[in-house]
């Protein structure tokens, strides 16, 4: 095989990747046992998330938003249907392979930040890179660049208890995007911060989406957040009620 052939193949793969969705859900169901009652948390959901999406899963509490994010993030397994993330069918891989998928392809942002309290902002952001075994110099360059991008330059040595809620969530976002994952899943990322901080976090995520092409899927029931999303996936009782691309 010549170099020309190799280049051709690489281009083909990249094109194919660009054309295929990052997440594809087909007839996904998830049922929980709650005492003696079975709850259909996710019911027959089929959905594609494309590269560059800035999508919001909306709906009231109990509508299945977090359950769906957990399924996409490989934190939970569906009862039926298929969940394909970045070309990998999550139902066909074991626990350690799921860990690898989460580590290398998915970024997580949680409602309550969930930073590791004994680590500094820098160390929290570098945590996943360390798990990936990225060498120290590269790790440092990437983390510093990411912290700068999320507006935390100069706060690298602060621990979570020395930062505001908004700053902590920025560290969480830095931790999620520093590995350049295929998708960032954010569960109510602005729920624990004031409206001003929420606005700036949304600005940040939107900027990362537009400038760096980071794909975001976040759950929310905040109308203000929904207004900023370019795609709204409305859920109710575990089902997708509507899936609309916003104008503008």
Partner 1 sequence: MNLNKLAWRNLWRRKRRTMITGFSVAFGVMLAVTFTGAGDYFYTRMIDAGASMGMGHVTIEAVDYHRAPSLKKRLHHVETLREKALQLPQVADVMTRITGQAMFASASKSVGGMFIAVDPAQENSENNLFIRSIIEGSMLSAPEGRNIIVGSKLAKKLHLRMGKKVVYTTTDVHGEIVSAIARVSGIFETGISEVDGAMAMLPIHSVQKVLGYQIDEATLLGIILKDQRFSKSMRDKLAAMPLYSGVEVLSWQQSQPELAGMIAVDKSSNYISQLLIGLLVAAGILNTMLMSVLERTREFGVMMAVGMAPSALFRLIMLESFWLAVIGLIAGIIITIPWYIYMANIGIDLSGAYGDDFNFAGVLLDPVMKIRLFQESIFAILFGLFTLALAAGAYPAWRAGRIPPVESLKTI
| Pairing of β 231-236 and β 216-220 | unpaired
Q: Under rule CB under 8 A, which residues in 91-120 are in contact with partner 1?
A: 95-96, 99-100, 102-104, 107-108, 110, 114, 116-119
Q: How far is the CB of 153 from partner 1 (least distance, A)?
A: 20
Torsion, Cα 129 134 136 138, to 10 degrees, reads: -90
d(CA 66, CA 69): 5
Q: How far is the CB of 118 from partner 1 (least distance, A)?
A: 4
Residue 154: closest CA among 172, 169, 167: 167
Angle formed at CA 28 by CA 98 and CA 92, multiple of 5 degrees: 35
The stretch among 7-15, 44-52, 71-79, 161-169 that binds partner 1 (CB under 8 A) is 71-79
The stretch among 12-20, 44-52, 127-135, 210-218 that binds partner 1 (CB under 8 A) is 127-135
Q: How far is the CB of 166 from partner 1 (least distance, A)?
A: 19
Site string for partner 1, 72-91 (x = CB under 8 A): -x-xx---------------
Q: Does 31 bind partner 1 (CB under 8 A)?
A: no
Angle formed at CA 175 by CA 172 and CA 138, multiple of 5 degrees: 155
Q: Where are the alpha helices (DSSP H) in the chain?
A: 3-19, 65-72, 95-105, 121-132, 136-149, 165-177, 195-212, 223-228
**List of residues contacting partner 1 (CB under 8 A):** 70, 73, 75-76, 95-96, 99-100, 102-104, 107-108, 110, 114, 116-119, 123, 126-128, 130-132, 175
């Amino acid at each position: 095989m010549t170099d020309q052939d190799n280049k051709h193949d690489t281009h083909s793969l990249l094109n194919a990747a660009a054309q295929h969705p990052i997440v594809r859900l087909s007839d996904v169901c998830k049922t929980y046992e709650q005492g003696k009652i079975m709850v259909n948390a996710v019911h027959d959901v089929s959905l594609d998330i494309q590269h560059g999406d800035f999508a919001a899963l909306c709906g009231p509490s109990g509508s299945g938003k977090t359950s769906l994010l957990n399924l996409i993030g490989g934190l939970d397994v569906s009862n039926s249907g298929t969940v394909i993330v970045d070309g990998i069918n999550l139902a066909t891989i074991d626990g350690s392979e799921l860990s690898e998928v989460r580590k290398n392809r998915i970024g997580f942002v949680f409602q309550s930040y969930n930073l590791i309290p004994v680590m500094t902002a820098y160390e929290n952001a570098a945590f996943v890179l360390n798990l990936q075994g990225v060498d120290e110099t590269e790790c440092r360059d990437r983390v510093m660049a990411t912290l700068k991008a999320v507006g935390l330059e100069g706060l690298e040595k602060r621990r979570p208890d020395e930062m505001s809620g908004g700053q902590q969530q920025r560290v969480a976002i830095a931790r999620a995007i520093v590995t350049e994952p295929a998708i960032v899943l954010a569960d109510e990322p602005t729920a624990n911060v004031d409206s001003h901080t929420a606005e700036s976090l949304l600005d940040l995520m939107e900027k990362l989406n537009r400038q760096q092409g980071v794909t975001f899927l976040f759950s929310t029931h905040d109308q203000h957040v929904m207004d900023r999303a370019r795609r709204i996936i409305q859920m109710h009782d575990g089902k997708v009620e509507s899936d609309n691309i916003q104008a503008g």
